[in-house]
């Protein structure tokens, strides 16, 4: 049967190696567990299901261990010795205890994560003879954000329609909801904001709350809480009030009553995600109030309920000389004013999910406020569902960036996990790349980005390659040479994409609105900050956005150490060069080439690398499913053609400024 990708990394095909299968079989002759916790029950069924597939035989569930057999014990133990943050109830330990394997955790969720970790051991062909694995999530709220609309469309979604079928809810629960919950739980995610941040007020109507409740009922046994994106002006639109002013008594009362109504239906409701005063969305500023006043009002409305407010910092306005600085300028002064239930959600970079951005200057700049890192799994600016781009290196690059705000080692990861500033709560969000396509993500390789996000949200110290290796073995093949080849391509894919689209720190030169393909010549778009020329600033002298003190001075938003590292065009990492400097076309770079020659070289070698990806992929053909192989092959051919499109469009456009020939060896024969 052709592999349609529906099962994701949860395949559980029979372990092919007979010796290994025999070992696993003898270690897993029964499962025994304590208690009636709903999530623990899920853990036992998931373990049974996984083992049945991997071992090719049913494994009975018993009330207690059988002394003459070897089995797996799942035990909730309030004092379980799990590594990491002692506050975490989600950690687990897997250990060999005499004849048995013991999975302990302080909650059902902990056991569930432990079970998936144990299954992963077998899926990736590890020994399970003497186990001692302990793990806890480093970040507490680990969410997917869906940009799904009530009409079934997905903003920036490239994998079909929304998986939520609002017209069928609450009566019919599509089995896909459960499979979705399983996939998320298997990588440690524990929250889902189900609707677009450009939110419809409709989700807050009784009719929809009932539907959301039904979805929450599917997620709950998997340890996943449901959150809603809220439309700021809902009190007006569906509440009949004249205002949505956060300081208005009736508005406060409306939100408090709404929160009570939701919690009555969904006792473990997670809370609110808010996009306000951003890209035309209403917000507290419409009434002369600031973001903190807005967020705090919602936090107060949540009252005693165990919920949070995630308030997005993605704001920018027309007329600014440098959009880069706007979120910082609006939010930094509010540090210390947010109530304890509020987290401010910040995109990885200052502009908007570009193929490469420096870390957002708010990281490290708001020590009194827990900051959620928002990354995008859906490839809005990264070739949608036709370009193969593995995103773990992008996520890691941001997480590993050193803000230096509290000395060396003040990484974005330590800001986000709360350890740098001793926050009680911490969060990370990934904008989902999921839709109704049979394989969930459109591009089969997009599944790896969903997977990697979950794994890094759990433990950002994992390496991109280690995650890619796990995923490949579980999803595509266990053949060692093929695994190595695929992981190598994945590892390099993001840099290749950067080279043929936006090398050396170029950004925001893509097609208007659609955000696909090149449009560096874009000069009219209703607003300067929606054009391309605003960002690349090509002229007769050179290329790039001067963000130093002689330019917009956005660089000054970073700590002195970072300013020093990036402030001098001679020493600034080439990956960020044109983010911060306007560099002369003939300026020699560290590579020994002039800016122009380096730029052209990167476009050409980047595009050539797609051919390399095609060759590498062709070489693994015998080791992976034929249908899946053909699918990726076809997408790679689109990617190759579009890499040439990007290369030619950008090189030829910038050449009209540089007036330099295309360097040998790329120049066409005359």
- Residues near ligand GCW (CB under 6 A) are 147, 155-156, 197-198, 275, 278-279, 314, 352-353, 380
| Nearer residue to ligand GCW within complex by CB, 20 or 198 | 198
Residue nearest to ligand GCW (CB): 352
Q: Cα–Cα distances in Å, from 238 out to 201, 243, 262?
A: 7, 12, 15
Closest CA to 25 of 49, 74, 58, 3: 58
State the nearest-atom distance from the C-beta of 173 to ligand GCW, in Å: 27
Q: How far is the CB of 272 from ligand GCW (least distance, A)?
A: 15
Task: Report the C-alpha gap between 486 and 318 in whole angstroms.
Answer: 44
Torsion of CA 491, 465, 191, 202, to 10 degrees: 10
Evaluate the omega torsion of the peptide bond into residue 207 and state whether it is cis, within 30 degrees of 0.
no
Of 322, 380, 397, 529, the active-site residue reads 380
Whether 279 is catalytic: yes
Q: Nearer Cβ to ligand GCW, position 378 or 639?
A: 378
Task: Indicate which residue of 268, 352, 541, 608 is catalytic.
Answer: 352
312 by DSSP, 3-state: which? strand
Supply the minimum distance, in Å, between the C-beta of residue 534 and ligand GCW: 16
Shortest separation between residue 427's beta carbon and ligand GCW, angstroms: 16
Residue with smaller CB distance to ligand GCW, 198 or 205:
198
**Residue 373 parent element (H or E):** strand 371-376
DSSP string of 501-523, one letter each residue: HSGGG--S-BPTTT--SB-TT--
To the query of whether residue 437 is one of the catalytic residues in this protein, the response is: no
Nearer to ligand GCW, 137 or 430 (CB): 430
Structural tokens at position 474: 């579980």
Q: Alpha-carbon distance 282 to 187, whole Å?
A: 35
User: Rounded distance, CA 578 to CA 582, Å?
Assistant: 6
Task: Please tell me what DSSP assigns to residue 589.
Answer: P
Distance between CA 450 and CA 442 in Å, rounded?
12
Residue tagged active-site, from 13, 207, 279, 637: 279
Residue placing its CB nearer to ligand GCW in the complex, 278 or 472: 278
Cα 515 to the center of its chain, rounded Å: 19
Closest distance to ligand GCW from the beta carbon of 320 (Å): 16
Query: Of 103 and 276, which has the nearer Cβ to ligand GCW?
Result: 276
The least CB distance from residue 442 to ligand GCW, in Å, is: 17
User: Does the annotation count 352 as an active-site position?
Assistant: yes
Least Å from the CB of residue 346 to ligand GCW: 11
Q: Tokens 């955000």 appear where?
A: 515
Q: In the bound complex, what is the minimum distance in angstroms from residue 653's beta carbon to ligand GCW?
A: 23
Q: Map tokens 């007769």 to a residue.
A: 540
User: Smaller CB distance to ligand GCW: residue 322 or 402?
Assistant: 322
* Residues 455 and 647: beta-carbon distance below 8 Å: no
In the complex with ligand GCW, the residue whose CB is nearer, 385 or 589, is: 385
Burial class, 369, CB count within 10 angstroms (exposed 0-12 / middle 13-18 / buried 19+)? buried
First-to-last alpha carbon distance for the chain, in angstroms, is 52
Q: Which of 134, 119, 227, 242 is nearest to 183 (CA)?
A: 119
Q: Tokens representing 617? A: 């992929």
Give dist(CA 494, CA 376) in Å, integer. Answer: 14
List of residues 6+ apart from 39 with CB closer than 8 A: 107, 108, 109, 111, 112, 220, 221, 222, 223
Catalytic residue numbers, as ranges: 279, 352, 380
């Amino acid at each position: 049967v052709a592999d349609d990708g529906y099962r994701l990394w949860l395949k559980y095909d029979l372990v092919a190696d007979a010796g290994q299968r025999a070992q696993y079989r003898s270690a897993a002759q029964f499962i025994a567990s304590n208690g009636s916790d709903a999530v623990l029950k899920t853990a036992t069924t998931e373990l049974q299901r996984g083992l049945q597939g991997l071992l090719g035989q049913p494994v009975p569930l018993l009330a207690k261990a059988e002394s003459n057999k070897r089995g797996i014990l799942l035990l909730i133990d309030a004092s379980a010795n799990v590594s990491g943050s002692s506050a975490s109830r989600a950690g687990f330990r897997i250990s060999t205890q005499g004849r048995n394997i013991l999975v302990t955790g302080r909650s059902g969720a902990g056991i569930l994560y432990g079970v998936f970790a144990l299954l992963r051991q077998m899926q990736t062909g590890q020994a399970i003879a003497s186990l001692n694995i302990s793990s806890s999530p480093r970040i507490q709220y680990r969410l997917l954000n869906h940009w799904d609309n009530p009409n079934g469309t997905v903003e920036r979604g490239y994998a079909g329609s929304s998986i939520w079928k609002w017209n069928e809810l609450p009566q019919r629960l599509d089995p896909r909801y459960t499979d979705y919950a399983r996939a998320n739980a298997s990588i440690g995610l524990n929250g889902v904001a189900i609707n677009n941040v450009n939110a419809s007020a409709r989700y807050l109507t009784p009719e929809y709350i009932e539907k959301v409740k039904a979805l929450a009922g599917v997620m709950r046994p998997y340890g996943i809480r449901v959150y809603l994106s809220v439309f700021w002006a809902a009190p007006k639109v569906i509440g009949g009030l004249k205002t949505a002013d956060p300081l208005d008594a009736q508005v406060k009362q409306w939100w408090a009553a709404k929160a009570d109504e939701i919690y009555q239906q969904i006792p473990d409701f997670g809370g609110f995600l808010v996009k306000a005063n951003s890209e035309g969305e209403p917000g507290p500023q419409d009434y002369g109030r600031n973001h903190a006043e807005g967020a705090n009002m919602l936090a107060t409305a949540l009252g005693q309920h165990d919920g949070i407010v995630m308030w997005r910092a993605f704001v920018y306005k027309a007329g600014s000389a440098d959009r880069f600085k706007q979120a910082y300028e609006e939010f930094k002064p509010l540090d210390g004013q947010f109530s304890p239930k509020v987290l401010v959600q910040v995109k990885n970079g200052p502009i908007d999910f570009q193929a490469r951005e420096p870390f957002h200057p708010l990281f490290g700049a708001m020590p009194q406020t827990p900051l959620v890192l928002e990354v995008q799994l859906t490839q809005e600016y990264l070739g949608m569902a036709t370009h193969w781009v593995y995103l773990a290196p992008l996520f890691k690059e941001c997480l590993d960036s050193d803000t230096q705000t509290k000395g060396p080692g003040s990484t974005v990861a330590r800001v986000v996990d709360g350890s740098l500033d001793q926050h009680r709560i911490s969060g990370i969000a990934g904008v989902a790349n999921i839709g109704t396509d049979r394989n969930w993500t459109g591009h089969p390789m997009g599944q790896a980005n969903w997977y990697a996000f979950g794994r890094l949200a759990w433990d950002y110290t994992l390496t991109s390659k280690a995650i890619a290796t796990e995923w490949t073995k579980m999803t595509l093949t266990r053949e060692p040479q093929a695994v190595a080849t695929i992981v190598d391509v994945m590892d390099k894919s993001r840099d290749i994409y950067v080279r043929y689209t936006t090398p050396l720190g170029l950004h925001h030169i893509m097609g208007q609105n659609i955000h696909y393909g090149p449009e560096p010549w874009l000069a009219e778009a209703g607003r300067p900050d929606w054009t391309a020329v605003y960002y690349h600033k090509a002229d007769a002298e050179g290329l790039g956005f001067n963000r130093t003190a002689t330019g917009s001075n956005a660089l000054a938003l970073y700590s002195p150490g970072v300013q020093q590292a990036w402030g001098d065009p001679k020493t600034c990492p080439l990956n960020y060069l044109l983010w911060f400097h306007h560099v002369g076309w003939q300026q020699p770079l560290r590579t020994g080439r002039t800016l122009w020659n380096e730029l052209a070289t990167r476009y050409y070698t980047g595009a050539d690398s797609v051919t390399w990806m095609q060759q590498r992929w062709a070489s693994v053909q015998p080791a992976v499913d034929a249908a899946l192989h053909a699918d990726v092959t076809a997408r790679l051919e689109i990617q190759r053609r579009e890499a040439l499109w990007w290369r030619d469009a950008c090189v030829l456009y910038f050449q009209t400024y540089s007036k330099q020939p295309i360097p040998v060896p790329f120049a066409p024969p005359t």
